Structure 1
Amino acid sequence: MLTSNNTDPREGKQLSFENTEVAFRHTSNAALKRAWWLFKLININFLVKIGPPVTNWALNMHLPIKGIIRATIFKQFCGGETIAECDSTIKNLAQGGVGTILDYSVEGEDEEAVFDETCQEIIRTIHRANGDKSIPLTVFKITGVGRFGLLEKLDAKQDLTEAEKAEWKKVEQRVTMICKKAYDLGIPVMIDAEESWIQNTIDELALTMMDVFNKERAIIYNTYQLYRHDKLESLQEDHDIAVAEGFILGAKLVRGAYMEKERRRAMEMGYKSPIQTTKQATDDDYNKALEYCVANIDTLAIVAGTHNEDSCQILADLLDQYQVNHNHPHIYFSQLLGMSDNLSFNLADSKYNVAKYVPYGPVQAVLPYLFRRAQENTAIAGQMSRELGLITKEKKRRTAPPAP
């Protein structure tokens, strides 16, 4: 790992991810206690595994558990059920210098009317961001505005029926509508990555949008999942295209979100898994991608989506190494609401650009997102223990007697 002498140029502060006072300055004692209990439970893998079927059964039986969900896991990881309900979260994050990325997290729909409504909801998030520096970025998933099976067929290079061609045209129109609104209002929008067997179609669509809307500044961002062994090369190839075509490449860098599903499908269908063979290989490619992006910062804008402390430190050091301002508009750090506040708020305190994903939507509709989040994070060795340890440290700091 690179060594760090990062300091805030205005305040002379050294960047540290251990400062829990800064990390939880925005968190009340009651919220800290709730988070402590929640992470304690999430740390028990058994509860995470049985949670989804038990919760879905209870909801289907109309048992009164929605209030419990809303007061616990939903409150920790989501901003509310509507954009308006997210206002207090937006304000709270902004007080610590952290921006908000409104993320409409309804999943698994496949009806045209729902796709149209989701498209309009995403546009509403762009309007909400307009004129509000607290919301520097917006985001959407292509499967929020188009059918998964259609994308799968396109990725497999299968012929579409006439009805499917018309359906795909509607998907393109929705994506163009979102991207044009983002361009018109000057609000960057990120296109999330999804499963590898629909990702090529998403990549092509994202690059097409960038070629149209990223000529003057980075408005459209595609997402690169570096747990795939081909994505560092893909990032570099896309950057070459951007330079040749005269647009800025927008790149959100993440490790990835579908590892178990990807490996299982590859095994079942008898093809080589796209996932890196080791975590170290993923970490290496992620950090190489960071350096590649900083080295090409004039023609490449990045959002570093990561809960990895080493990667955050490496990116901070790279900015110093390449003499890039901490608050350069082409560099954002990003984490999820309710997690890694020690990264988000300490980075913001040292004047780096930081924004948290703030998922929102009806409680029952957002449950798949919440369950996946809990399952993913228990798979990250030590992540929940790290969260729990930091919260415990802050609880003790707050209750410690004052120094004599």
Structure 2
Amino acid sequence: MAARVVPQKIVKNLRFQKSTKPLTSSHPATAAVAATLLEKQPPRATTPPPPPSQSFSSLDLNNAEKLFSTVSTSTLIRSSAVLHATAIGPMVDVGIWALQSRLLQKGIMKDAVMAVTKKTFFEHFCAGEDAVAAGRSIRSVNDAGLRGMLVYGVEDAHDNDGCDRNLNGFLHTVDVSKSLPPSSVSFVIVKITAICPMALLERMSDLLRWQQKDPSFVLPWKQDSLPIFSESSPLYHTQTKPEPLTQQEEHDLQLTNQRLQQLCHKCVESNKPLLVDAEHTTVQPAIDYFTYSSAIVHNKDDNPIVFGTIQTYLKDSKERLFLATQAADKIGIPMGFKLVRGAYMSMESKIAESFGYGSPIHDTIQDTHNNFNDCSSFLLEKVANGRGSVVLATHNIESGKLATAKAYEIGVGKVNHKLEFAQLCGMSDALSFGLSNAGFRVSKYMPFGPVEMVMPYLLRRAEENRGLLAASGFDRQLIRKELGRRIKAAIF
């Protein structure tokens, strides 16, 4: 995703973004929320500039020496090499082929591939191979003024034995977070795909989609939840009426609920928020169901423990966000949301095409940027005026600047528990340090685990970086500038 600097005159006059069209859904709840939002938008011409004490200039992303003052020269050199390599398309293609090829996954060739991967991609994008190493990485970023999202790097499970093993890993992650300096770990991350068999998530998602098509369709296992779909949500995954869950599937569902509740209870006891990662739309409805039903149970007062994730590259994401927050407000539940752009673009397009439908993802990258900015502005308004929290996970410079200006404008303020910025470990470090230097809470998403276990995550990072870094090169330029300055200082 490209990053470009927003003109100062736009920043000074920032209000709620109107760059995407108003919602036009026939759903009465959605229409009411949209109307309320539109009423809150004053004419752009009458928008006053932020007061001098809240000057946007405090977010400095140009002073490379200040931004990377806490980063060692050896780390900068490695970062520069990895980021340059991942910006070269053919090199990324070869690397992805090597990591996936069966020819290189045996014997000495496998050992060689794993050794190279560990010393390059893994050390750059991950926190370590075990909890001890992850703890050292968390302490390191905390010393630099950042926080860490602790991520046990396992992804998909296919049976209950695997789910139980993964649950133990997530529970241990909470224990690790408790052993680290206070507030150094902002969130513990969980992937529902790791504690619920993938086949069951697909079946549940099909049944939930079918109930959206036909409200008379009864799901006896369904607990209280927030809205999962909007009028514009893609439902093409379910072509024919699915069969009810079997007795074994219902048993597996009960086990999944028990695992998730055990993890939630541990996070409540530790006062450590649990952030549920998003996945592709094949299984996302079931993940949202688990997230929202758990939030209803565990989110109390003004302290969200269970956070959901909204992928704003999906065309229906803004409408779903509005419906979920409205429903949460109605029943008095403080909700926490992480906003991301999304990580499954190629998969989503292929799935939609296989059913003869258009992609559920926005047609242009600018539409995605606009939607992310609109959703972040909406959530900032929500947390400024009521309960709940928001995590703005973005590598986009413009989105970061717009969000900080909005936060100043509406009084969310710096170092506020209601607002956290986040970037992936090894990516957009300049933005992370700039936001932290400006006084905002900033986290790095830090997965840990054996190299082979986190390989799916590394493959996605390599694929994502090809477009992100080749388009912007923002960090590469600043790192190169700082390395040049240090070399001159050492020589002269």
Q: TM-score range by the shorter chain?
A: over 0.9
> Where in structure 2 are the equivalents of 1:365-376 lying within 5 Å?
365-376=453-464
Q: In structure 2, what is the equivalent of residue 61 of structure 1?
A: 107
Cα deviation code 1:330-384 (max 9, x no counterpart) = 1000001111111111111121011101111101111111011110121236456
Tell me if 1:183 matches 2:268: yes
Bigger mean CA deviation after superposition, 124-133 or 160-169: 124-133
TM normalised by structure 1 equals: 0.94
1:236 is aligned with what amino acid?
F
Question: Pick from 232, 239, 242: which aligns with 2:325?
Answer: 239
Question: Pick from 111, 120, 128: which aligns with 2:168?
Answer: 120
Q: In structure 1, what is the equivalent of residue 82 of structure 2?
A: 38
Question: Pick from 410, 422, 439: which aligns with 1:351?
Answer: 439
- Does the Cα contact within 8 Å between 1:6 and 1:14 map onto a contact in 2? no
TM normalised by structure 2 equals: 0.78
1:58 is aligned with what amino acid?
L
Q: In structure 2, what is the equivalent of residue 136 of structure 1?
A: 186
State the distance in 1 between where 2:437 and 2:254 align. Answer: 45
2:130 is aligned with what amino acid?
T
**SS of alignment partner, residue 374 of structure 1:** helix
- Does the Cα contact within 8 Å between 2:129 and 2:450 map onto a contact in 1? yes
- Does the Cα contact within 8 Å between 2:278 and 2:310 map onto a contact in 1? yes
Q: In structure 2, what is the equivalent of residue 333 of structure 1?
A: 421
State the distance in 1 between where 2:172 and 2:445 align. Answer: 16
> Where in structure 2 are the equivalents of 1:151-170 lying within 5 Å?
151-157=201-207, 158=242, 159-170=244-255
Question: Pick from 477, 485, 492: which aligns with 1:389?
Answer: 477
Q: In structure 2, what is the equivalent of residue 208 of structure 1?
A: 293
**Count of paired positions:** 404
1:255 is aligned with what amino acid?
R
State the distance in 1 between where 2:400 and 2:161 align. Answer: 41
State the distance in 2 between where 1:11 and 1:317 align. Answer: 8
Question: Pick from 254, 274, 277: which aligns with 2:363?
Answer: 277
Question: Pick from 3, 12, 16: which aligns with 2:11?
Answer: 3
**SS of alignment partner, residue 3 of structure 1:** helix
2:124 is aligned with what amino acid?
Q
Q: In structure 2, what is the equivalent of residue 148 of structure 1?
A: 198
Bigger mean CA deviation after superposition, 330-339 or 372-381: 372-381
- Does the Cα contact within 8 Å between 1:7 and 1:15 map onto a contact in 2? no
State the distance in 2 between where 1:22 and 1:361 align. Answer: 32
1:380 is aligned with what amino acid?
L
RMSD (CA atoms): 2.3
State the distance in 2 between where 1:10 and 1:312 align. Answer: 16
2:368 is aligned with what amino acid?
T
Q: In structure 2, what is the equivalent of residue 102 of structure 1?
A: 150
- Unaligned runs of 5+ residues in structure 1 are none
TM-superposed CA distance for 1:277, in Å, is: 1.0
- Unaligned runs of 5+ residues in structure 2 are 1-5, 13-48, 208-241
Question: Pick from 376, 379, 390: which aligns with 2:467?
Answer: 379
- Does the Cα contact within 8 Å between 2:87 and 2:470 map onto a contact in 1? no
Report the CA distance shift for 1:190/1:282 in structure 2 as closer, same or farther (over 3 A). same
State the distance in 1 between where 2:400 and 2:426 align. Answer: 18
TM-superposed CA distance for 1:224, in Å, is: 0.2
Tell me if 1:399 matches 2:487: yes
State the distance in 2 between where 1:7 and 1:332 align. Answer: 23
Cα deviation code 1:112-148 (max 9, x no counterpart) = 2221121121122222223631112111111011122
TM-superposed CA distance for 1:104, in Å, is: 1.2
Tell me if 1:308 matches 2:396: yes
TM-superposed CA distance for 1:240, in Å, is: 0.6
**SS of alignment partner, residue 454 of structure 2:** helix
**SS of alignment partner, residue 365 of structure 1:** coil
Runs of 4+ in 1 over 6 A off after TM superposition: 5-13
TM-superposed CA distance for 1:7, in Å, is: 11
State the distance in 2 between where 1:396 and 1:202 align. Answer: 47
State the distance in 1 between where 2:490 and 2:79 align. Answer: 25
Question: Pick from 83, 88, 91: which aligns with 1:47?
Answer: 91
Q: In structure 1, what is the equivalent of residue 232 of structure 2?
A: none
Cα deviation code 1:73-95 (max 9, x no counterpart) = 11101111111111221121111
- Does the Cα contact within 8 Å between 1:43 and 1:384 map onto a contact in 2? no
> Where in structure 2 are the equivalents of 1:278-297 lying within 5 Å?
278-297=364-383
- Does the Cα contact within 8 Å between 1:40 and 1:388 map onto a contact in 2? yes
Q: In structure 1, what is the equivalent of residue 22 of structure 2?
A: none
TM-superposed CA distance for 1:8, in Å, is: 12
State the distance in 2 between where 1:11 and 1:312 align. Answer: 15
- Does the Cα contact within 8 Å between 1:7 and 1:350 map onto a contact in 2? no
Q: In structure 1, what is the equivalent of residue 58 of structure 2?
A: 14
